[in-house]
Every structure is written in structure tokens, then in C-alpha cells.
Amino acid sequence: MLLIYSEKSGPRLQYVLDFIFSDVSATAYEHTTDVEQYVNSKESKINYSGQRIDAKEFFISSSPFIYESSLTTNNIDVIDFEETKALFPVSLDADIPFDVFSAVFYMLSRYEEYQPYIKDAHGRYKATDSISCINGFLDKPAVNIWIKSLIEKINKKLSVNLSLKAHKYNFINTIDVDIAYSYKNKGLYRNFFGYLRSLRYAKFDEISERTSVISGLRKDPFDTYDYIIDLQQKYNLNTIFFIHVGDYGAYDKNIPFKNNKFRDLIRHLSDYAEIGIHPSYESAAKPEKVRIEIERLSEIIKKDITKSRQHFLKLSFPKTYLTLIENKIKEDYTLGYASVIGFRAGTCTPFKFFDLDANQKTTLTIRPFSIMDGTLKDYQNKNSQEALQKISQQIDKVKSVNGEFISLWHNESLSNSGRWEGWSEVYEKMINLAL
């Protein structure tokens, strides 16, 4: 067992200790602020304070940050550390050159996203404003790398054998259903204006395709569900469908939730995979809609809804997560960036949301994703081969730290037609690499 000493205690420090030593390394530990108990103990000891106490201890130099109970806007120093960067460097002769506990807390709490920032066109925090993007380590699971190095250094200094086997590498395949069908089940009104729009922009192939689908001569291009389910069964995948059942709007264009064909589809998918809510774009401004949409989806599949991912990845701290908690959501899969690949919280390990405003850990588990089809195709303009290379690199990074690889695809991107030609092959190759 480890005995960890600090001059003070607090919810932020306890949160980090639990994450590092319970969640990631599965190590029994005791935390004390009693220096006499610490000095007299025969246990393996970690000293987290302003000065070294014992030459045989593992010493981590602390910063005031971890004990604060309010938000500040202090600049965070960054240093090179092994194959990545590190935050909160220390000048003392410590056994690790930065305050790893403060650094982990800063990243997991998304502290920087509570600061004033300029939003993107959809009201989101921009990846380019993050400390990890500015300092060039967004593409690495820095938190996991820090913890791996910390455990190795503790083992060496204290002659113990702590492990990183609390979590095994895991792959979760997730599909967002923003628009269930491209042409089917949209009704006369929407199809009529669809024809007009195609005619206006001289998209005659679209007119032909719409006509063929509506007349039953051709399969709807967004109807890729049999393909997804076939691969799920072939590879025994852990798959989650996040379903949009919000009202129609500028960025909410799914089939009406009362449509019987759409309801049949949702029930069909629930026979093979887990179903989560995909809260509408509009719900970000009107959180009362989240409850309504969860109730709609639950009524369709006759099951409780406990998983969520925001449509357009619209995430605002702490508002979005507090709304999910109020609505009994247990897991959220939104944490990632639309514009770039990477690790938004610096980790590929699930963790509990810490509410900085209330200064406490919550019941909501955050499961970050690190790769999305639209990021590769629309934001980074990758072709299918380039995309597969990026995916492979990302999987290797997650595997190297026993993390959780979560991919985000859409039913439409697996149509293997139009601008998504060749991408269904990327999807299946990704599955093989991930497994």
C-alpha cells in the first residue's frame, strides 16, 4: 500500500488521486495530512508538498493550483517531458519535474473551457485555443503518458511493483444517426422542396436518385444499417447508435420521431446494439428539450436511456453535463473535437466529470472519442487511404497506454457513394486494426 502525504486536502486532489491510483493503476493507497503519521509510517511513501521530507520517499513538488476552490486565469507553463509535454513545471529537485497531480486535474476538468473564449460558428470551444493544440501535444494521450511515467518512476524509486492494468485496451464502435434516410420517409413537402433545391443547383443526378429511391427502384443511400449490423455480428463489436429524435430545425433534419418507419428502424437497431440519445442542436440553447427527446427515445425502445452524445458535438462546460446528470444520463461520448483528431482531455481512459463550479466529482462518466469520419473528410480533406493511416496511428497510441479507442461514424458516411465513396472500406479496415 502507498501512503500519500499532502499539507492540505481537498476535493480536487482527492479526485486526481482516485483517478491515478484507483482507476488507472488499481493501487491501494491512503492519503494523510498528518506529517507525524507520514514520518513514522513503514509503508511506501509519496510526499506531495512544498519540500522533501525523507530521502527515501517519492517526492512530487506541489503547486497551489490543486487546492484552489475557485477559477483563476493564470497562465500555465509548459515543458518538454519524455515523448510529450507537461504542465506545471517545478524548480525543486523533485522525483518528477512537474506537478503531475495539478496537470492531470487541469486536463480532466477541462479547466481551460471554463475560461472566456471565442466560440466557433456553432458555439463550440475551438481546438486551436486549447493548451494541448497550442503546444503541440493534442495528438497524444498526455495524461496517460504522464501517469505511465509516474508509476514507472515510483516503482524504481520505492522498489514497488505498481501496475497499469486497471483498464485493458478496449474498442467501442459508435454510430451517430443524424439523418436516418436521405430521401425515404420525409414526406411530400420535404421531398418537393428537395427537388426544387436540386433543380436550382442543377444537380440532376440527385433528382434521378431521389426519384429512384422514392419509387422503390433503389435503396436509400443513407440506409446502411444492414451493413453496420452485419459487420457488428461478424466481428462481435460493442456498438452504440446515438439517435436524433429532436424537432426539425436548421441543423436538426432527421425523420419525424412519430414516423412509423423510423420508429421501426430504431427498434430494429435496439435488437442488435445499445441505443443512446443524440440531443438536438436546438437543445443546446433549450436544455428542457433534452428531457423531451430522451422520453421520446425511451418510449420507442421501451428501455431507459443512459448514454448520450451531443449533436454537432455542442458541448458547454458545465451546462451540458449538468443537464445530462439531471436527466439521469450515466455516460457521455461527446468529448472530442470536430475539427481535429486528438485527445481533448489528454486521455483515452473513462473518467468522472468534475464540476468546477460546485468543486466536486459527479456521477457522470465521460468517455472521450478520438477519431471522427467528418474530421478526416470535411475538416482535414483526407482521402480514404490517408484517413486509414491516421486512424491506424491513433489506434496505436491508444493501445500503447491500455486506453479506450472510440470511433465516431455516421450512417451516411458508410453509403460508399458520392463523396463517401471508398469510406466503407476504411471503416471495416479500422475495425480490423482496432480489434
Q: What is the pLDDT along the chain (435 residues), one digit of tens a residue?
A: 899 999 999 999 999 999 999 999 888 999 999 999 999 999 999 999 999 999 899 999 999 999 988 888 778 999 999 999 999 999 878 999 999 999 999 999 999 999 989 999 999 999 999 999 999 999 999 999 999 999 999 999 999 998 877 678 999 999 999 999 987 777 665 765 665 676 677 776 666 666 677 777 788 889 999 999 999 999 999 999 999 999 999 999 999 999 999 999 999 999 999 999 999 999 999 999 999 999 999 999 999 999 999 999 999 999 999 999 999 999 999 999 999 999 999 999 999 999 999 999 999 999 999 999 999 999 999 999 999 999 999 999 999 999 999 999 999 999 988 889 999 999 999 999 999
Domain for residue 165, yes or no? no
Q: Which residue from 145, 173, 141, 143 is spatially nearest to 434, judged by alpha carbons?
A: 173
- The domain of 32 spans 2-158
Asked whether residue 341 falls in the same domain as residue 379, the answer is yes
Q: How many domains does the chain have?
A: 3
Asked whether residue 121 falls in the same domain as residue 232, the answer is no
β-pairing verdict for 84-87 and 170-177: unpaired
Pairwise CA distance, residues 89 & 83, whole Å: 16
Residue pointed to by grid coordinates 478496449: 170
A 10 A CB-CB count for 47 gives: 24
Domain for residue 422, yes or no? yes
Domain for residue 149, yes or no? yes
Domain for residue 327, yes or no? yes
Q: Quick check: 333 and 276 in contact, CB under 8 A?
A: yes
Asked whether residue 19 falls in the same domain as residue 44, the answer is yes
Domain for residue 195, yes or no? yes
Asked whether residue 260 falls in the same domain as residue 355, the answer is yes
Residue pointed to by grid coordinates 442543377: 202
Asked whether residue 268 falls in the same domain as residue 413, the answer is yes
Residue pointed to by grid coordinates 514520518: 39
Pairwise CA distance, residues 191 & 187, whole Å: 6
Asked whether residue 225 falls in the same domain as residue 340, the answer is yes
Domain for residue 164, yes or no? no
Asked whether residue 105 falls in the same domain as residue 145, the answer is yes
Asked whether residue 88 falls in the same domain as residue 228, the answer is no
Q: How far is CA 318 from CA 71, 98, 232, in A?
A: 13, 28, 34
Asked whether residue 224 falls in the same domain as residue 146, the answer is no
Q: What is the CATH number of the domain that holds 385?
A: 3.20.20.370
Q: Which three cell numbers stand for residue 119?
A: 466560440
Domain for residue 400, yes or no? yes
Asked whether residue 355 falls in the same domain as residue 260, the answer is yes
Q: Quick check: 332 and 308 in contact, CB under 8 A?
A: yes
Asked whether residue 18 falls in the same domain as residue 126, the answer is yes
Asked whether residue 263 falls in the same domain as residue 137, the answer is no
Domain for residue 163, yes or no? no
Q: Which residue from 308, 313, 311 is spatially nearest to 297, judged by alpha carbons?
A: 308
